[in-house]
């Protein structure tokens, strides 16, 4: 079943298109990897998919009974103020913000799931720490835990492993993969083409040439040749 469909979408800022004529669709349970050079518009595409930026033309349709509050999101950069007082637990719990509807407080179940997600990412011991005093990689893991709390059907990740050490990176990929196996649709932006080829079911290549297709189609296409180098040949 199609969860997200892009029909002839162009996107950009203030009327200047960065990408135009984009057509693709993602079915539930897919694992889509978005690749492309710096500044090619990957993050912009993700924000457009999330409805944070309106598309300049074309339409993005949400299907398969997907509601906004079933989506999780890991931003590439967050403009979080340097002096914002927020503990790790508070931030992870805020992933549930759209689940509780008009209920003012988080329930036991949500608090437990938040703890589980923190455990999964190895940040349980940071629970009481202040977010702004963490290292970049630790902050990334906190935001990932928050994204995991938010998602039940679709998870959008903008460079999830940027800033993570190799151990955690491997764990991270395994975790995303297992979520995908549980039925969560994944849309991930990555510069790690090896991982993209290893885990993804579909690839969207953004740049001078647009490409969308399954991983096998991508590996056979010309687009992959000059972009992805050695991982693909193996």
Ligand X SMILES: Nc1ncnc2c1ncn2[C@@H]1O[C@H](COP(=O)(O)OP(=O)(O)OP(=O)(O)O)[C@@H](O)[C@H]1O
What residues line the site for Mg ion (CB under 5 A)? 43, 76
In the range 41-60, which residues lie near ligand X by CB under 6 A?
Answer: 41-44
Closest CA to 150 of 104, 114, 188: 114
Residue 130 Cβ vs ligand X, minimum distance, rounded to whole Å: 27
Three state DSSP letters for the chain: CEEEEEEEEEEEECCEEEEEEEEEEEECCCEEEEEECCCCCHHHHHHHHHCCCCCCEEEEEECCCCCHHHEEEECCCCCCCCCCCCEHHHHHHHHHCCCCCCCCCCCHHHHHHHHHHHHHCCCHHHCCCEHHHCCHHHHHHHHHHHHHHHCCCEEEEECCCCCCCHHHHHHHHHHHHHHHHCCCEEEEECCCHHHHHHHCCEEEEECCCCEEEEHHHHHHCCHHHHHHCHHHHC
Q: Which is nearer to ligand X, 117 or 224 (CB)?
A: 224
In the range 92-111, which residues lie near another protein by CB under 8 A?
Answer: 93-95, 97-98, 100, 104-106
- For tokens 């010309």, what's the residue? 222
* Site for another protein contains 87 (CB under 8 A): yes
Q: List phi, psi (to 5°) of 36.
A: 155, 165
Q: Which is nearer to another protein, 132 or 225 (CB)?
A: 132
Q: Give me the residues paired with residue 187 across strands.
A: 32, 156
Residue 9 Cβ vs Mg ion, minimum distance, rounded to whole Å: 17
* Site for ligand X contains 138 (CB under 6 A): no
* Site for ligand X contains 40 (CB under 6 A): yes
How many residues form the binding site for ligand X (CB under 6 A)? 11
Q: Which is nearer to another protein, 133 or 182 (CB)?
A: 133
Residue 146 Cβ vs ligand X, minimum distance, rounded to whole Å: 20
Residues in the chain: 234
Residue 69 binds which entry of Mg ion, another protein, ligand X, none, CB below 5-8 Å type-dependent: another protein
Residue 36 binds which entry of ligand X, another protein, Mg ion, none, CB below 5-8 Å type-dependent: ligand X
* Site for ligand X contains 84 (CB under 6 A): no
Q: Which is nearer to another protein, 86 or 232 (CB)?
A: 86
> Which of 120, 146, 153, 202 touches another protein by CB under 8 A?
146
Binding mask 57-76 for ligand X (x = CB under 6 A): -------------------x
Q: Which is nearer to Mg ion, 46 or 150 (CB)?
A: 46
């Amino acid at each position: 079943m199609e969860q997200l469909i892009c029909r002839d979408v162009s996107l950009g800022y203030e009327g200047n298109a960065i990408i135009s004529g984009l057509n693709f669709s993602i079915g539930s349970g897919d694992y889509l990897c978005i690749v492309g050079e710096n500044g090619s518009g990957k993050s912009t595409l993700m924000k457009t998919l999330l409805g944070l930026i309106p598309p300049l033309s074309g339409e993005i349709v949400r299907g398969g009974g997907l509601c906004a509050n079933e989506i999780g999101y890991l931003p590439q950069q967050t403009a979080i103020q340097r002096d914002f007082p927020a503990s790790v637990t508070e931030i992870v719990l805020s992933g549930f913000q759209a689940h509780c509807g008009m209920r003012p407080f988080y329930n036991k179940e949500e608090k437990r799931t938040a703890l589980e997600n923190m455990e999964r990412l190895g940040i349980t011991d940071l629970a009481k720490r202040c977010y702004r005093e963490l290292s970049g990689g630790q902050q990334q893991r906190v935001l990932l835990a928050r994204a995991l709390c938010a998602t039940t059907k679709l998870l959008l990740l903008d460079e999830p492993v940027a800033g993570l050490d190799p151990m955690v990176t491997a764990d991270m990929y395994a975790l995303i993969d297992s979520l995908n196996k549980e039925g969560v649709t994944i849309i991930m932006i990555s510069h790690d083409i090896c991982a993209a080829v290893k885990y993804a079911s579909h690839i969207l290549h953004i740049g001078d040439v647009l490409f969308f297709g399954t991983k096998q189609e991508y590996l056979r296409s010309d687009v992959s040749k000059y972009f992805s180098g050695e991982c693909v040949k193996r």
